[in-house]
């Protein structure tokens, strides 16, 4: 174990050695700090002779702890904290867009008209996806979940306005390009504001129930991964049966033995197994990204470290 102090409030913390160099959240002031690699040089008797407040104050101002007060270290921690918050916002946006596409496609096939989705369906879809985005982003931050969640939708509006500005530029410079103001009509503006509020509320909920969210995500990921592997096996088998059919057709209808062997022994295994391992690699890559994100936010989430597979 490594005994060290919070550089913000001086609270004495005992951390496992495996967290050396990692970020943790101070249980006293909730600030994000980095666990030092070595235990500061002080005597155990110092803690017995002084009270808790005196111990924290003395050790915090001790010359032996000057490296903990290094401005570069503190600046690095703050910058990394802002970077984590920004990445959390981007992850929330990506997850929200993913669910919007996955759910929006069947809704468009069922309810879409010549003018697009009805306003009530659009409202439900926007509220749901903004809630998912805000909750996901909020679950990755130790505090200010409402702000991080709301920013997922605010940034979407900024990007939309930038795209609209670029489109307006093309309209001005090219008379053949038409422009539509549908997205800035009053109902859509109200919907954007509602989405920000919903995402902010979801961010607060995500921050409070982050363990439940990540446990649910882990269970979903395991189910999806298992289902995906099963589909890959079944798909690879069906694909190879197709090449067996082509080989049999070349052998019995055309009498081409070499062509049949080529289909059965070369093309079939290469294509079917190659596709299987390619898609399997993509799935494992997704799992690797999930693990890296999980472990990067580990000090903020307070979970156990996800071991290598």
Q: Name which residue leads in pLDDT, 42 or 257.
A: 257
Q: How far apart are CA 10 and CA 123, in angstroms?
A: 49
Domain ranges of the chain: 2-69, 79-208, 211-301
The token duo for 234 is 């079944």
| Residue located via tokens 């996800």 | 306
Residue 201 banded pLDDT, cuts 50, 70, 90: very high
Give the pLDDT score at 69.
46
**Burial grade of 291 (CB within 10 A; 0-12, 13-18, 19 or more):** middle
CA distances in angstroms from 160 to 153, 200, 219, 287, 306, listed in the order given = 11, 19, 34, 31, 37
Give the pLDDT score at 47.
44
Residue 39 banded pLDDT, cuts 50, 70, 90: low
Query: Is-above-0.85 flag for pTM?
Result: no
Residue 283 banded pLDDT, cuts 50, 70, 90: confident
Give the pLDDT score at 57.
40
Name beta bridge partners: 4: 13
> Among 58-62, 90-94, 182-186, which is the least confidently predicted range?
58-62
Residue 131 banded pLDDT, cuts 50, 70, 90: very high
Q: Flag whether pLDDT at 80 surpasses 60.
A: yes
Q: How far apart are CA 288 and CA 307, in angstroms?
A: 11
Least Cα distance to 39 among 61, 8, 67 occurs for 67
How long a stretch of residues is the chain? 309
Q: Name which residue leads in pLDDT, 22 or 260.
A: 260
Least Cα distance to 128 among 156, 89, 97 occurs for 97
Quickly list DSSP for the chain: -EEEE-TTT--EEEE-GGGTTSEEE-TTT--EEE--SS--S--THHHHHS-HHHHHHHHHT-GGGGGGG-HHHHHHHHHHHHHHHHHHHHHHHHHHHHHHHHHHHHHHHHH-BTTBS-HHHHHHHHHHHHHHHHHHHHTT-SS-HHHHHHHHHHHHHHHHHHHHHHHHHHHHH-TT-----GGGSHHHHHHHHHHHHHHHHHHHHHHHTHHHHHHHHHHHHHHHHHHHHHHHHHHHHHHHHHHHHHHHHHHHTS--HHHHHIIIIIIHHHHHHHHHHHHHHHHHHHHHHHHHHHHHTHHHHTPPPPPP-
Give the pLDDT score at 176.
62
Q: Name which residue leads in pLDDT, 86 or 61.
A: 86
Q: Flag whether pLDDT at 46 surpasses 70.
A: no
Give the pLDDT score at 54.
42
| Residue located via tokens 């898609």 | 279
Least Cα distance to 81 among 37, 34, 36 occurs for 34
Mean pLDDT of the chain: 76
Give the pLDDT score at 56.
43
Residue 55 banded pLDDT, cuts 50, 70, 90: very low
> Among 86-90, 134-138, 163-167, which is the least confidently predicted range?
163-167
| Residue located via tokens 């069947």 | 106
Q: Flag whether pLDDT at 196 surpasses 60.
A: yes
Angle at CA 304, nearest 5°, toward 89 and 145?
Answer: 25
């Amino acid at each position: 174990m490594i005994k060290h102090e919070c550089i913000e409030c001086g609270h004495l913390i005992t951390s496992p050695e495996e967290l050396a160099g990692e970020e943790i959240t101070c249980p006293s002031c909730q600030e994000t700090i980095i666990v030092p690699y070595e235990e500061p040089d002080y005597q155990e008797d110092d803690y017995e002779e002084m009270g808790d407040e005196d111990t924290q104050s003395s050790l915090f101002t001790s010359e032996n702890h000057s490296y903990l007060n290094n401005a570069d270290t503190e600046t690095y921690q703050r910058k990394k904290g802002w970077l984590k918050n920004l990445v959390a916002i981007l992850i929330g946006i990506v997850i929200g867009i993913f669910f919007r596409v996955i759910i929006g496609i069947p809704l468009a096939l069922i309810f879409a008209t010549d003018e697009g989705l009805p306003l009530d369906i659009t409202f439900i879809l926007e509220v749901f996806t903004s809630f998912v985005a805000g909750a996901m982003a909020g679950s990755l931050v130790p505090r200010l979940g409402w702000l991080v969640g709301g920013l997922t939708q605010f940034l979407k509006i900024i990007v939309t306005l930038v795209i609209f500005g670029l489109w307006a530029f093309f309209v001005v410079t090219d008379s053949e390009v038409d422009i539509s103001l549908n997205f800035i009509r009053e109902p859509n503006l109200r919907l954007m504001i509602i989405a920000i509020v919903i995402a902010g509320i979801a961010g607060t909920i995500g921050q409070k129930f982050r363990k439940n969210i990540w446990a649910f995500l882990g269970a979903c990921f395991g189910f999806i991964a298992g289902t995906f592997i099963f589909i890959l096996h079944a798909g690879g088998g069906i694909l190879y049966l197709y090449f067996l059919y082509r080989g049999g057709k070349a052998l019995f209808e055309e009498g081409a033995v070499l062509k049949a062997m080529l289909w059965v022994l070369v093309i079939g295994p290469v294509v079917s197994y190659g596709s299987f391992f390619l898609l399997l690699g993509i799935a494992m890559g997704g799992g690797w990204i999930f693990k890296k994100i999980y472990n990067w936010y580990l000090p903020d989430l307070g979970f156990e470290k996800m071991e290598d597979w």
